[in-house]
Amino acid sequence: MASRKPKPVDGKAHIRCTVNGEPVEVAAAPHKTLLEVLREDLHLPGTKHGCELGECGTCTVLVDGTPVLSCLVLGLACEGAAIETVEGMHDGPDLHPLQETFAELGAAQCGYCTPGFLLTAKELLERTPAPSREDIKAALAGNLCRCTGYLKIYEAVELAAARMRGEAAEPSRESIYGR
Amino acid sequence: MGDSALRVVGQPHRKVDADAKVTGKTVFADDVVLPRMLFGRLLRSPHAHASIVRIDTSKAEALDGVAAVVTGRDTPIPFGILPVSQDEHALCPDRVRFVGDPVAAVAAVSEDIATAALDLIEVEYELLDPVGTPEAAIATDDPLIHDYGDAGNIHKLVALEFGDVDDAIAASDHVREDLLFYEGNTHLPMEQHACVADWTANKLTLWSSTQTPHYVHRALAKVLELPPARIRVIACPNGGGFGGKSDPFNHELAAAVLAMRTGRPVKITLTREEVFYCHRGRHPVLMWVKSGVTRDGRIRGLHFRTLLDGGAYGSYGVASTYYTGALQTVTYQVDRYKFEGARTFTNKAPCGPKRGHGTPQPRFALEVHLDRVAEDLAIDPADLRLQHLAESHALTANWLQLGTVGLGECIRKVVDGSGWRDRRGALPYGTGLGIACSSYLTGAGLPIYWNDMPHSGVQLKLDRGGGVTVFCGSTEIGQGSDTILAHIVAEVLGITMADVAVVAGDTELTPVDLGSYSSRVTLMTGNAAIQAAERARDILARHVADALELGTERLAFADGRVFDVEDPETGMAFDDAVRLAEAAQGTIGTVGSYTPPPSPGRYRGAGVGPSPTYSYSACVAEVEVDPDTGIVTVPRVWVGHDIGQSINPVSVMGQVEGGIYMGLGEALMEEMAYRERTAAKVVHKIPSMLDYKSPTTFEMCDVVTYLVEDPDPNGPFGAKEVGQGPLLPVPPAVANAVYDAVGVRVDEVPITPEKVLRAMKDKARGKEGRFGPRSFPSVPWPDAAFIPTPAEGGDGKRQQRATGSTAEAS
Amino acid sequence: MLRLPTFTYLQPTTLHQALRMKADAGPQGMYVAGGTDLYPNMKRRHQEPKVVISLAGIRALKRITGGTKGTALSAGAGVTLTDLHSHKKVLRGYRALADAAELVSTPLLRNMGTFGGNLCLDTRCNYYNQSYEWRKAIDFCMKKDGAICWVAPSSPRCWAVNSSDTAPVVVALGAELLLVGPDGERSVPAAQFFNNDGIDYLTKRPDEILTEVRLPAQNGWDAVYHKLRRRGSFDFPVLGVAAWVRWEHDLVAEARIVLGAVASYPYENEEASAAVIGSSLEDDVIEAAAQSAFKPSKPMDNTDHGLAWRKDMTRVFVRRALEDLRARRA
């Protein structure tokens, strides 16, 4: 194996895109992933990382509305793209319904996988306003959580979906107190 | 003072940190950024066992952008979580003991350059034979992995006997022996460990994803030879812990050394692979159990042996060893009990405390064993348990003082809910039900290091605006410890949770709490918070009583007011009361602290097992076994958990469900696997998120939860733990259900399709239909310390065995 | 954090540009499509290109055309796995392919990973898909930086496994793959796209670009894909069975049973295929075919799960795939 001594990076690359609805221009090393650009160059540390190999879903963000693994997207590849991170999920003082229900039901325990789950779920609800439990499981099957056992996450997604459909939904008694 | 129904405690409330977590504002350790911060990385050993002959760091030091390179020469002072196991170094000075053991650390202006610099460090090793298994560790003491321990490569040997067990077994109606094995597994928190060290004005600050800032504080002081007053440890919220962030770690110490060397902040964030090397996860444990029972299933004598694969360092291992024996007596009546445990060193990542610390393995063994005993005796396994429950407030054979025991109600709930009576044994081939129970500590009775001080401290500051700030050294790891404090203080002072702010886990700002381990936080910080809040209430009450010209006994604190219980219109707002008190006596602040009650056991080893109270869980698992593939799926479990009293029920539910999840992963697929035959290498087979199999949404089962509230006098408002207990019954319940489904016994966790199918083929060939260990190696057990049981007139101390006993003479 | 090594990133918008960039970069250059295979590999220092040429900006690779009224369906290599498995024409006429694509890894990865990328997936092995540091601990292996194959230390070859879900399906379907290189375009039958070698696993030359997959028109054939893995998500197959039959008057006229994740290439078991021809997939025929597939199956210690069990599962999964085909016919 040849030495991995890095060659001096010939300058930083400029990336122009929108992040959470705002146009940004950033200079970053060309080999940096979107994850690194967001956290280190755009100072948006809400996007987390658990493996950097596409094996956990923690770093999920939306690129042009699609949930992707930001650890496997180059920052440079996002030129012109619209990126949404957890920091941009709510506009104004009110939380997004998913953020609200995740908080309400304790679907965020340690909170580390939460940004990825929120963004994946947001895209699901935009696509499927009334998802079944099976739809939710399938959509979230690329996000690992070690705290919750997913159940409170499912309930939070269902509750948010109902509220986003305009229903005056409340958590079931069983999900809070048990049977 | 007038007291009435609980207003805040027992009510669901969003966690105080929930909004920050759902908006990405929570600052985890890797999110800390300081001006001119450097990035550190550790060079780790590629050899499982070797002496370090020479390290040359000159080329790395010469690389542009490298600020410092340090090696074991810079970190000569050992550390370790337990005073008896000070066997680790920040960087190995002369010996590496597993693939992943760190030998050097680099700080550079970027992580890329730090990584490149690692490649330029030349290390010359002299290879030693690695010890790959406990059997090998017992068989050889050449080479020795450590120069301490109870016998060669055996780190710890324990032998305790409570009453004459051989006699009890000989006098029983039915005797059975079983051998079982529980594979090691790891915590796999989603957050990789990270820390930032800063050295400013001759003072060190460390931000870290740690569950135990107080112990990290002590380790830093020792290794760096700094007065503790010049070290500040800030525990960032942990992105999951589960016990995996409970030790002081190499990278924390190395970052500190590098920060002191360079005068610049240094961040070290581990890769996922490095997290596997930190490990401290579940010990692989081989177990032998022998019981003698009466015709109706009462355990007259229980003899239990464990052999633990400890990995390369001590960590919590001495405690883990005791824990593989300590809690076998707290669920059902056990008249006499003998425990022998051995922990070996091997050249693998060190094992330690994972959720349930040392107890899921013996629980698996005991609950599967009892399932068979029930079958032998033709008793329903649920009834066998119900008929011999440990009694509330009893003293067990091994001198553990129980609190309330809500296990019976837990069993009845899951039996009814699952349709156990009608469905077990009656489901179609391939589908089955299994039951298991468990219990867990609500906080360890003794601290990690011997001292007479409280285990938890809380300070309250009352603001004249009516806000109350709680300062506590506890660490938020996702379990909701901050929220519990807010609940309790709000309850006592009659205010809302929104009026309470929590400052936690900072050795400079908060009084010591020993850390987020052993399910101790709700009980211990909760009791400390009650004391501090009651003291604040007393101060306010005195001044309000004066102002209202009433006796303090007539005052109540509720709904943001202090008022006369006999005339609720008479009173004042809480903030008026604070101002009144502050005007009268100055700034209002109080403290509270908590120390667990002393344990009656006074034999050597009695320190592991005692707890202020024990939680109880019962679980019925339903499984489906594919007879062609052996693949086991678990569609549903029913779990009953004796929580004493829920402080925040929605958090309790989350802990139960999370525990079931982790138990399911251990039962079916999670495995810390090593390659031991690759040409003198002992390497972790699969140190990645992809290959370490954590259940996805598709594997998680439905959970029907029953919360049983049997308040315990030692718990805050009666509360017990929930973070660890509900995990424990899952693996044995699944194993017992597999037996119900297809009639085979897999006496080994994880219950993989390979094992199930082999057992089924075994059965099809007319054999016993079992997969599991076949023998227990010969361990040089010491003579057991003999301690008479409480029922047989003991005093909790070791005694000479009564004459005529054979064991004592040997 | 695990990071990428430094490299130059190029973003052509036409195939012509991409080929020229690759010619300029020479052996130091590599194409990337979705990046879900190459980037993790680069982070582990499996591949170390100095120039990475992205195919993501080439629109011509992202089309799905044809597939109506008995015509062949052409799927661009740059179509994401999500778009492939949710495309109406794929779902309607090529269910086995849709299933295989939907069974790849996770929804997030499928939003990024492409059909072409999945077909070109680097072969995998427990000794290879590890970090540089881990591989150093075992003195590396012959697939990268080392001399021997740890799976079979006395073997002269690398036994890394073709772990693509779509590869066995396109082979079973008899698809044609279109390649564009400096010398122009060529078409190869899917079965000839793969080599039985863990290192030299594709017949595609490094400077060629896989552009399109031509799936045969419907003419009475049917196919299914069954995947075995530990978890319902994330995991690569430890066994994939693609079974294709062409029915004529309720009898199997032609058959191809192709196994994935058991060799360095999608392996067609011709004995098993032959065993079902002329039958209506009766139980005994299926059992005989399953036995034929089971016998030569020799899984190596290079994926998840135990060897003996994986071998056993060949029989079970071939049987289930054929039963599935029979049920679909009925």
CA distance to partner chain B, nearest, from residue C1 (Å): 5
Contact C1 A66 (CB under 8 A): no
* C11 interfaces chain A, CB cutoff of 8 Å: yes
Q: List CB contacts (< 8 A) between B24 and chain A.
A: 44-47, 85-87, 115
pLDDT (average), residues A31-38: 98
Average pLDDT, stretch B104-131? 97
In Å, how far is A16's CA from the nearest CA of chain B? Answer: 23
HSE, CB side, 13 Å, CA atoms: give it for residue A56: 25
Test mutation, C10, C108, C134, chain A, max A CBs within 10 A: C108
- Residue B79: how many other CB atoms lie within 10 Å: 24
pLDDT tens, residue by residue, A134-166: 999 999 999 999 999 999 999 999 999 999 999
Residue of A nearest to B274 (CA): A51
* Burial of C227 per CB tally in 10 Å (0-12, 13-18, 19+): buried
Which H helix or E strand runs over C227? strand C221-228
Chain A residues touching B688 at Cβ < 8 A: 51, 53, 55
Q: Which chains touch C (3 or more CB pairs under 8 A)?
A: A, B
What is the Cα B197 distance to its own chain's centre?
26
Q: Is the separation of the CB atoms in B516 and B478 below 8 Å?
A: no
Q: Is the pLDDT of residue B807 over 70?
A: no
With CA atoms as reference, the chain B residue closest to A107 would be: B654
Name every chain C residue with its beta carbon within 8 A of the beta carbon of A142: 105-109, 233-234
Where residue A11 falls among pLDDT bands split at 50, 70, 90?
A: confident
pTM more than 0.95:
yes
With an 8 Å Cβ cutoff, is A141 touching chain B?
yes
Q: How far is C62 from chain A (nearest CA, A)?
A: 16
Q: How far is B731 from chain C (nearest CA, A)?
A: 18
Q: What is the DSSP letter of C176?
A: E
Q: Do A143 and C7 touch (CB under 8 A)?
A: no
Which chains have 3+ CB pairs within 8 A of B?
A, C
Q: What is the pLDDT of residues B180-191, one digit of tens each?
A: 999 999 999 999
CB contact under 8 A, A6 and C108: no
| Token pair in block for residue A49 | 């990382």
Among B681, B691, B698, select the one facing C304 at the smallest CB separation. B691
Q: Does the CB of C86 have a partner CB in chain A at under 8 Å? A: no
Tell me what pLDDT residue A10 has: 52
pLDDT-flagged residues of chain C (< 70): none
Contact criterion met (CB < 8 Å) for A77 and C11: yes
Task: Provide the percentage of residues in chain B whose pLDDT is more than 70.
Answer: 98
Rounded distance, CA B649 to CA C85, Å? 42
Q: What is the pLDDT of residues B61-98, one digit of tens each?
A: 999 999 999 999 999 999 999 999 999 999 999 999 99
Q: Which positions in chain B touch A49 (Cβ < 8 Å)?
A: 30, 192
pLDDT digit string (tens) for B756-785?
A: 999 999 999 999 999 999 999 999 999 999
Distance separating alpha carbons of residues A84 and A123, to the nearest angstrom = 11
- C150 vs B678: CB contact, 8 Å cut-off? yes
3-state DSSP percent of chain C in helix, strand and coil, to 5: 35, 25, 45
Q: Which pLDDT value is given to residue B681?
A: 75
CA neighbor of B605 nearest in space, from B319, B286, B331: B319
Residue B806: the pLDDT is 45
B809: pLDDT strictly greater than 80: no
Q: Among all residues of chain B, which has the CA nearest to that of A4?
A: B116
Q: What is the pLDDT of residue B459?
A: 98
Closest CB to C232 among B630, B699, B753: B699
Q: Looking at CA atoms only, how far is residue C246 from chain B in angstroms?
A: 28
> Residue B705: is its pLDDT beyond 50?
yes
Please give the mean pLDDT across all residues of chain B: 96
A110 to B23: CB separation less than 8 angstroms, yes or no: no
- Report yes or no: A50 at the C interface, CB cutoff 8 Å: no
Closest partner residue to A120 (CB to CB) among C1, C5, C108 is: C108
pLDDT computed for residue B1 by the predictor: 55
Confidence check: pLDDT of B810 > 50? no
A7 pLDDT band, cuts 50/70/90, is: very low
How near does any CA of chain A get to the CA of B689, in Å? 6
Instruction: Tell me which chain C residues have a C-beta less than 8 angstroms from the C-beta of B698.
Output: 231-233
Per-residue pLDDT band at B801 (split at 50, 70, 90): confident
- In the sheet with C251-260, reading across from the earlier edge strand, the strands are C221-228, C239-248, C251-260, C267-268
Residue partners of B489: CB distance under 8 A and separation at least 6: B460, B468, B470, B495, B500, B529, B532, B533
Give the pLDDT score at C297.
86
Contacting residues of B for C316, CB less than 8 Å apart? 628-629
Residue B730 has pLDDT above 80, yes or no: yes
Say if the Cβ atoms of C130 and B757 lie within 8 Å: no
Which tens digits make up the pLDDT trace of B559-580?
A: 999 999 999 999 999 999 999 9
Whether C3 has its CB under 8 Å from any CB of chain A: the answer is: yes
* pLDDT score at C67: 84
- pLDDT of residue B381 exceeding 80: yes
CA dist B319 and B78 (Å) reads: 19
By percentage, how much of chain B surpasses pLDDT 90? 97
pLDDT of residue B675: 86
Q: Residue A162: left (phi > 0), alpha (psi -120 to 50), or beta? A: alpha
Note whether B23 contacts A137, CB cutoff 8 Å.
Answer: no
Across the interface, whether the CB atoms of B693 and C304 are under 8 A apart is answered: yes
Residue of B nearest to A173 (CA): B650
Beta bridge partners of B304: B289, B339
C6 shares contact with chain A (CB less than 8 Å): yes
Question: Which residues on B lie below 8 Å from A105 (Cβ)?
Answer: 650
- Say which residues have a Cβ less than 8 Å from residue B195's Cβ, sequence separation at least 6: B29, B206, B207, B208, B209, B210, B251, B252, B255, B267, B268
Token look-up 């799927």 returns C75
Question: Which chains are adjacent to chain A, needing at least 3 Cβ pairs under 8 Å?
Answer: B, C
Chain C residue numbers touching A49 (CB-CB < 8 A): 1
Q: Which two tokens stand for residue C16?
A: 């012509």
CB neighbourhood size of C183 (10 A): 10
Facing B757 at nearest CB: one of C3, C304, C309: C309
**Residue of chain C whose Cα is closest to the Cα of B48:** C137
Q: How far is A125 from chain C (nearest CA, A)?
A: 15
- CB contacts, 8 Å: A29 with chain C: 6
Residue A124 at interface with chain B, using a CB cutoff of 8 Å? no
- pLDDT reading at A2 higher than 90: no
Evaluate if residue B679 carries a pLDDT over 60.
Answer: no
Mean residue pLDDT of chain A comes to 94
Q: What is the per-residue pLDDT for B803?
A: 60
Own/partner contacts of B798-801, CB < 8 Å, gap of 24 or more, are B798/B603, B798/B604, B801/B164
How does pLDDT run across B444-491, given as a tens digit for each residue?
Answer: 999 999 999 999 999 999 999 999 999 999 999 999 999 999 999 999
| Residue B2 pLDDT exceeds 70 | no
User: Chain B residues with CB-CB distance to C under 8 A?
Assistant: 30, 44, 46-47, 99, 111-112, 115, 269, 271-273, 628-630, 669, 675, 678-679, 681, 683-688, 690-691, 693, 695-699, 752-754, 757
pLDDT at residue A4 is higher than 80: no
